[in-house]
Amino acid sequence: MQTYDVVIVGAGHGGAQVAIALRQRNFEGSILMIGAEPDLPYERPPLSKEYLAGEKPFDRILLRSPAFWKERQVNMLLGQTVTAVDPDDHAVATEHGEHIAYGSLIWAAGGHARRLGCDGHDLSGVHTVRTRADVDRMRTELDGVAQAVVIGGGYIGLEAAAILAKSGKAVVLLEALDRVLARVAGAPLSRFYEAAHRDHGVDIRLGTKVDCVLGDRNKVSGVRLADGEVVPAQMVIVGIGIVPAVGPLLSAGAIGDNGVRVDGLCRTSLPDVFAIGDCALHSNRFADGADIRVESVQNANDQASVVARVLTGSEVPYDAVPWFWSNQYDLKLQTVGLSTGHDAVVMRGDLALRSFSVIYLKHGRVIALDCVNAVKDYVQGRKLVEAGASVEPIRLADATIPLKDA
């Protein structure tokens, strides 16, 4: 059985960053990264943006060149899924029967796109957007698509809807709740994005439940709604969240449920096993210490750095402010902090000019901002969130006062 000092499961954002950070910190041990996808680590955000639009080829979304990994002696085992972890033997097993021993194991396996549970969910033409392969499949079909249905009004669904609408498809977006982005943003931002999409011809249906996906000779032909209406479509894109990829770890006895539980140093309950990124359930200061998973590049990268530091002798707990971005049409959204639990909202800037910020407060303190085409607010507001600053709403709302002076 081969042995590596560090085995990383998952060759995505977190997995790549932990290997990069280890070498930056002069870690000299052997590293193996095992990835279920056949590709070297690549950026996932463009999958619902420039890559889906065909504006960026795959080699431009690679996180690092093939030479980079070779030079730094990061070994890759790609196209292989880890199916079991043996914490006593400090070893993992892959689906192809390989057994590999580790000194430390870093679980950076992200999540699988959640699928619909209704009839027709597996028809040809029904897609999720999680991997390069998902988007490559979609792109080969796009020429034959006039009408598309997007299920789910979160960031990924909205971004995909924007790309399809821009390329001339008739898009219907179905959201079960009464507004888009309901889980991540306040109502003013939701309403703004709903209007922006409608201006681009997207038919947004709120409070709408799906009954089933309809097909003709195994190919999707439409979506039947709970009220019986049939929306015709040659493509259905499902953006309803992820299921964290933690099965083998939980089977091995790691504590967790909706993700694997980690402490401030990203340690799981298993010895020498860490978890980072989308699959890591952690207590987050910016959520008042609640146990959450954060699905963002920032979180994956910052948790990767925490683990790289631990493995090179420096224990600095995870405490990074969450941030995220989303591009739709000409709208560049940057968010910082977590708005969950806010008790007041302040609008700053001009919605009509499409440059504004939504500022969220809790007990008088700034906890989050959603900044649309407002980079300065984002940069300066971030400091307010980090500091948990108390600022008078009237000063926050006054766009003539820079946030750094508020």
Name the residue among 294, 270, 269, 272 with its Cα closest to residue 281. Answer: 294
User: Which lies closer to ligand FAD via its Cβ, residue 95 or residue 178?
Assistant: 95
Q: Which residues of 305-331 are buried (b: 16+ CB within 10 A; e: fewer)?
A: bbbbbbbeeeeeebebbbbbbbbbbeb
> How far is Cα 120 from Cα 214, in angstroms, rounded to an integer?
6
User: Which lies closer to ligand FAD via its Cβ, residue 192 or residue 324?
Assistant: 324
- Which segment (107-115, 305-313, 366-374, 397-405) binds ligand FAD by CB under 6 A? 107-115
What pairs with residue 370 in β-bridges?
Answer: 335, 358
Q: Name residue 396's amino acid.
A: L
> How far is Cα 228 from Cα 394, in angstroms, rounded to an integer?
48
Contact track, ligand FAD, 214-253, x by CB under 6 A? -------------------------------x--x-----
Least spacing, CB of residue 379 vs ligand FAD, in Å:
17
The H helix count followed by the E strand count for the chain is 10, 26
Structure-token pair, residue 142:
């796009």
- Which segment (41-49, 344-352, 380-388, 392-400) binds ligand FAD by CB under 6 A? 41-49
Q: Does 14 bind ligand FAD (CB under 6 A)?
A: yes
Q: Which of 6, 27, 32, 44 binds ligand FAD (CB under 6 A)?
A: 44
- Which segment (28-36, 143-151, 182-190, 364-372) binds ligand FAD by CB under 6 A? 28-36
Structure-token pair, residue 347:
């609008």
Least spacing, CB of residue 122 vs ligand FAD, in Å:
19
Least spacing, CB of residue 35 vs ligand FAD, in Å:
5
> How far is Cα 333 from Cα 295, in angstroms, rounded to an integer?
16
What pairs with residue 84 in β-bridges?
Answer: 93
Say if residues 45 and 130 touch (Cβ distance below 8 Å): no
Q: Which of 108, 145, 204, 238 binds ligand FAD (CB under 6 A)?
A: 108
Residues in the chain: 406
User: Which lies closer to ligand FAD via its Cβ, residue 10 or residue 186?
Assistant: 10
Q: Which of 189, 300, 321, 359 binds ligand FAD (CB under 6 A)?
A: 300
- Which residues of this chain interact with ligand FAD, rule CB under 6 A? 9-15, 34-37, 44-45, 47-48, 81-82, 108-110, 129-130, 156, 245, 248, 277-278, 295-298, 300, 324-326
